[in-house]
Amino acid sequence: MSDDIRDTLERIHLIQTRLYDLNGRLRRGPLVLKAQDGNIQKQSANLAQINETYQKLKSEAKQKELEVAANDQAIARRKTQLQESKSNKEYQALQMQIKADEAARSVLDDEALESIEKAEQYAVNIPVAEAELKKVQELYERTKKKFLEEKPKIEAEITQFQQLLQTEEAKLPRDFKEIYNRLIRSVGGNDALAVVENQKYCGGCNHQIPINSLAQILQKKPITCSSCARLLYIPNDFVFDKG
């Protein structure tokens, strides 16, 4: 293979590899942002759920406090009625009711205290969830800023390499170009070519290349890997070993 063809294939391969990387960076940017935005939505929903649960616990605690207050009012009312009772039977009935209300009040006090403590203990989850949400929001903004700064540079570099690629592709002989174009259509630029590694292996799939194929490559023939179909070229320091 003449140095011109070998060098052209090598340059095309390097350009295609670079373009693959650059286009990958362009694709990954929005995908990363989408994933991070999804994490923001997840953390927002988590914070909303925590706030909802906290409000529910506060409401339950408030309801218990109202029940205690209502019980106290009932006791006070019956004590007033006790003083105004006009018969022994009524007096005894009110006393029994007051004792029952006072016993119930003890239970209500415990339940109210338990509800208040439960709400207070749960409240610590709110700042933790808020901090986590803030963290993922800040990460999203940093990622977005970086990508928006890099995007025009990447696009400019893609344009530059595409122009270089067209120049190099125009140098390919017809028989090489037909195979190359077919591979571009079927597998894409990054997988269209492969260098021969360690004097006899395909750099794309590590398949061993037959000696006769290596000889044909040296004779300027367009040879593809029998395993992965990549168009093969030899490195600059290639030494043909017939053994």
d(C-alpha 150, C-alpha 67), whole Å: 63
What b/e sequence results for 155-165 when a residue is b if at least 16 CB atoms lie within 10 Å of its CB, and e otherwise? eeebeebeebb
**pLDDT tens over the chain, length 243 residues:** 445 899 999 999 999 999 999 999 999 999 999 999 999 999 999 999 999 999 999 999 998 888 888 888 888 888 888 888 888 888 888 888 888 888 888 888 888 889 999 999 999 999 999 999 999 999 999 999 999 999 999 999 999 999 999 999 999 999 999 999 999 999 999 999 999 999 999 999 999 999 999 999 999 999 999 999 999 999 988 887 765
**Of the candidates 137, 132, 172, which has an alpha carbon nearest to the alpha carbon of residue 7?**
172
d(C-alpha 161, C-alpha 54), whole Å: 57
The neighbour count for residue 213, using CB atoms within 10 Å, is 19
Its sign, for the CA torsion 39, 43, 46, 52, is negative
Q: What is the pLDDT of residue 101?
A: 83
* pTM, to two decimals: 0.74
Helix (H) or strand (E) holding 101: helix 88-122
The neighbour count for residue 63, using CB atoms within 10 Å, is 13
| Domains and their CATH numbers in the chain | 12-169 (1.10.287.1490), 174-233 (no CATH)
**Of the candidates 107, 78, 110, which has an alpha carbon nearest to the alpha carbon of residue 95?**
78
